[in-house]
Amino acid sequence: MSDLVQLTKMDGVAVVTINNPPVNALSSAVSAGIAAAVAQIEKDDAARAVVFIGAGRTFIAGADIKEFGELTSGKIICRESLKPLLLRIEDLRTPVVMAIHGTAFGGGLELAMAGHYRIALSSAQVGQPEVKLGIIPGAAGTQRLPRLAGVAKALEMCAEGSPVKAEDALKFGILDRLVEGDLLTGAIAFAKEVAAKAAPKTRERSEKLGTPEQNAAIFAAARETARKKQRGLLAPLAAIDAIEAGSQLPFDEACKKEEELFTKCLFSDQSKALIHAFFGEREVAKIPDVPKEMPTLGVDSVGIVGAALDRGLASIQKNYANSVKRGRFTQRFVDERLKLIRPTLDYSEFAGVDMVVEAVFESMALKKEVFSQLDRVCKPGAILATNTSSLSIDEIASATSRPQSVIGTHFFSPANVMRLLEIVRGAATGKEVIATCMQLSKKLSKVGVLVGNCMGFVGNRMFGPYRREAQFLVEEGASVEAVDNALYEFGMAMGPLATGDLAGLDVGWRIRKEFRHLQKPGIRQAFIEDRLCELGRFGQKTGAGWYKYDENRRPSPDPQVADLIRQWTSAAGIPRRQISVEEIVERCIYTLVNEGARLLEEGIALRAVDIDIIYLNGYGFPAYRGGPMWYADAVGLKKVCERIREFQQCFGNWWEPAPLLQRLGGQGKTFAEFSGWQGAAA
Ligand code: 3H9
């Protein structure tokens, strides 16, 4: 028996304990350990029942995703299928009870469903989140789950990947009982209770599978939802196909179909990109010179500067009311939260807070004024954070006597929705301040990414040229809708011009005015957006920007804008031409990549994956393309660099390829190799 799987006996019940910290991932070695335990149980005539349980914080959180990465990158060539092992467990003579705490996800739930009974602590969750990795359940999850929970619930779980709480899993028939107190004690008691009964095999059940006539509408609706909610993703549709096969074919045949779809998904570019994003999201929490053990500061109270009080509180109340309406929070929970917020117009009330987040508008003079006030009133050691999206942290810190306490916390808008938190390190920012903010991001269920200090940091410094290129394309003859559609079809959540309308065109206009003196002479500047702002077209909030908007903020193309663009560009002497979708996508995406390469070489971004995680969580970059740097690596940096050189010749020197891109392209290397982090493929 391996260290990863132990077989013991309690009161005549065989207990298989999986112990593979931190999440008991079902690696090949764990599977081998389980197989060895099953072999012993098969020979043990005295065992009355069997309990499977996870050691540590969880049951089994799924197959070992690292092994998938190694498989698709060719590092290992074969991974044994779990299915035969699950059949052996299901065929054991004695009842098998799966005892679940923490999470039974992916292969973990598939193993649990091969048992004859499933009991869980009420805090547990079950799920088939494989689609989030671009794959589908590959160990008969798409076959056993509909037999327990019904086709509709199985479709939802396998195609959307969301977890299900124990209480709901009980209602849907995935679990048989919830237990309180010590799980092992509860599991042994349950096992003794069912020991004498015939063991029900999930794969032999069919009462919840429905008929083709009953299921037709359910499958059609699931496909429509998947196409709409998970636009561009292949795995949700594959999961639906596998479940449909299961509702029509014998178990063994449907399992073969599942295997075929699973393998196709696993070797797809989408899955590689999504697995990169999974490990990337965890990697960004690792900061080379701020170790895990770095002490953090307690943050129990936070001051926020920069809301118009009545308006600010009204929008907080409105957001909470929406959450109550959607059933996310109870009214009581919201009332308690609202009581914790105290509006004030007096800086001295910040004297006792552990942290202040300044969120006034983007004016250096104003921010410095705020920080000098904070420096005067805040207690020593309080974290002084600025929510600036572009201004220098060091200059803001210079308005205080404690630059070590000053840091950027760039919350992406709308902050109650967006997951990204760009954490900006100034030259003097203390390591414990950084560690505290990284920890805080996790507490707020956000993804914190540490970046260096420069104008626009990582996200907006790349976004500037990206949006500028979109405007150049419009100046040269592409329609507003053609540019937005091309990038939407590429997978971006929204086109670049529509994004400007959403954020407010006046924001960039104000920043451009503030920094006009820094513009390099002779470099082409986009001008349409400034002209639109001069006409008061600030985007959605004024009912007009690149598009016009109805009272529900629904956009439609504005012929007036098209006319204005034609007039303005002809007056500027810019010839108009037909522009292909391919050119639109390449120019916009490669400009992101080129700026990303500069940020990487300058050390503003710690690793290429940090840039990817910023773009996946803050800018609507399609997760199945892995982020701009991963995407460029996949296209090949040599090819990207050559295309950028062509753009440089056609359009001008702002397209000069970044030195790092030229170097890596020439050497046949990737950004991931340069960063020394290649995720699951490493
Ligand atoms: C699958 O099961 C396919 C099947 O159909 C079988 C087919 C044959 N593998 O997230 P955390 C690592 S696909 C390897 O920070 P939390 C993670 O990288 C799988 N490693 O903790 C991190 O490492 P590090 C389906 C894994 O408490 C550490 O564990 N399952 C795996 O915030 C801690 O993770 C899933 O997709 C794994 N499966 O969240 C579930 N899981 O410390 C994926 C985690 O070095 N996992 N690690 O950075 C999760 O959703 C979360 O990890 C979980 C815990 C909610 C479980």
Write out pLDDT tens, residues 119-155. Answer: 999 999 999 999 999 999 999 999 999 999 999 999 9
- How high is the pLDDT of residue 681? 60
| 1 has a pLDDT exceeding 70 | no
| Averaged pLDDT for residues 302-326 | 93
Work out the pLDDT band at 682, boundaries 50, 70, 90. Answer: low
Tell me the two tokens of residue 663: 């170097």
Q: Whose CA is nearest to atom 49 of ligand 1?
A: 61
Residues with CB under 6 A from ligand 1: 22-23, 25, 61-66, 82, 103, 105-107, 110, 129-130, 133, 137-139, 141, 279, 282
- How high is the pLDDT of residue 535? 97
- How high is the pLDDT of residue 307? 82
Query: Using one digit for the tens of pLDDT, what is the confidence trace for 596-646?
Result: 999 999 999 999 999 999 999 999 999 999 999 999 999 999 999 999 999
**Where is pLDDT greater, at 294 or 524?**
294
Atom number in ligand 1 closest to CA 133: 36
Coil, strand or helix at 295: coil
Q: Whose CA is nearest to atom 8 of ligand 1?
A: 138
Atom number in ligand 1 closest to CA 278: 18
SS3 labels along 123-173: CCEEECHHHHHCCCCCCCHHHHHHHHHCHHHHHHHHHHCCCEEHHHHHHCC
Q: Whose CA is nearest to atom 45 of ligand 1?
A: 282
Least confidently predicted of 12-21, 452-461, 522-531: 522-531
Q: How far apart are CA 96 and CA 49, in angstroms?
A: 6
- How high is the pLDDT of residue 407? 98
Region at 44 (left for phi over 0; alpha for psi -120 to 50; beta for the rest): beta
Test site for ligand 1: of 20, 23, 28, 78, most ligand atoms within 8 A of the Cβ: 23
Query: Using one digit for the tens of pLDDT, what is the confidence trace for 519-540?
Result: 777 778 899 999 999 999 999 9
Atom number in ligand 1 closest to CA 128: 25
- How high is the pLDDT of residue 80? 76
Q: Report how far Cα 239 is from the mean position of its chain's Cα atoms.
A: 20
Q: Whose CA is nearest to atom 24 of ligand 1?
A: 282
140: CA distance to ligand 1 center in Å?
19
Work out the pLDDT band at 469, boundaries 50, 70, 90. Answer: very high
Helix segments in 340-479, DSSP class H: 364-377, 393-397, 431-443, 459-476
Work out the pLDDT band at 513, boundaries 50, 70, 90. Answer: confident
679: CA distance to ligand 1 center in Å?
13
Query: Using one digit for the tens of pLDDT, what is the confidence trace for 554-593?
Result: 999 999 999 999 999 999 999 999 999 999 999 999 999 9
Which pTM value belongs to this model?
0.95
With a pLDDT cut of 70, the percent of the chain lying above it is: 99
CA dist list (Å): 364 to 390, 398, 410, 424? 10, 11, 15, 16
| Averaged pLDDT for residues 494-509 | 93
61: CA distance to ligand 1 center in Å?
6
Dihedral sign, CA of 353, 355, 360, 366? positive
For tokens 């070590």, the residue is 404
Burial class (CB in 10 A: 0-12, 13-18, 19+), 614: buried
Strand runs (DSSP E) across 440-564, as ranges? 447-452, 547-549, 555-557
131: CA distance to ligand 1 center in Å?
13
* Beta bridge pairs of residue 358: 305, 386
Atom number in ligand 1 closest to CA 61: 56
Q: DSSP per residue over 211-242, as a string?
A: -HHHHHHHHHHHHHHHHHHTTT-SHHHHHHHH
Q: How far apart are CA 570 and CA 559, in angstroms?
A: 17
Q: How far apart are CA 70 and CA 431, in angstroms?
A: 34
Query: Using one digit for the tens of pLDDT, what is the confidence trace for 87-122?
Result: 999 999 999 999 999 999 999 999 999 999 999 999
Q: Note whether 451 and 458 are within 8 A (CB).
A: yes
Work out the pLDDT band at 372, boundaries 50, 70, 90. Answer: very high
For tokens 């990303």, the residue is 596
Residue 492 makes CB contacts below 8 A (sequence gap 6+) with 619, 620, 621, 622
564: CA distance to ligand 1 center in Å?
52
Query: Using one digit for the tens of pLDDT, what is the confidence trace for 396-422?
Result: 999 999 999 999 999 998 888 999 999
Tell me what the pLDDT averaged over the chain comes to: 95
**Diameter of the chain by CA atoms?**
92
Atom number in ligand 1 closest to CA 106: 2
Q: How far apart are CA 238 and CA 260, in angstroms?
A: 10
254: CA distance to ligand 1 center in Å?
27
Q: Whose CA is nearest to atom 53 of ligand 1?
A: 61
Test site for ligand 1: of 24, 59, 65, 142, most ligand atoms within 8 A of the Cβ: 65
CA dist list (Å): 342 to 134, 301, 305, 338, 380? 44, 11, 12, 9, 22
**Helix-, strand-, coil-residue percentages of the chain, each rounded to 5:** 55, 10, 35
Q: How far apart are CA 663 and CA 640, in angstroms?
A: 12
Query: Using one digit for the tens of pLDDT, what is the confidence trace for 33-76?
Result: 999 999 999 999 999 999 999 999 999 999 999 998 788 777 77
Tell me the two tokens of residue 47: 């065992």
22: CA distance to ligand 1 center in Å?
9
| 353 has a pLDDT exceeding 60 | yes
- How high is the pLDDT of residue 71? 83
| 548 has a pLDDT exceeding 90 | yes
Q: How far apart are CA 108 and CA 145, in angstroms?
A: 12
Q: Whose CA is nearest to atom 27 of ligand 1?
A: 23
Atom number in ligand 1 closest to CA 66: 14
Q: Whose CA is nearest to atom 56 of ligand 1?
A: 61
Catalytic site residues? 110, 130
- How high is the pLDDT of residue 75? 75
Residue 71 makes CB contacts below 8 A (sequence gap 6+) with 77, 78, 79, 266
Tell me the two tokens of residue 219: 């499958």
Closest CA to 63 of 32, 23, 106: 106
Query: Using one digit for the tens of pLDDT, what is the confidence trace for 194-239?
Result: 999 988 999 999 999 999 999 999 999 999 999 999 999 999 999 9
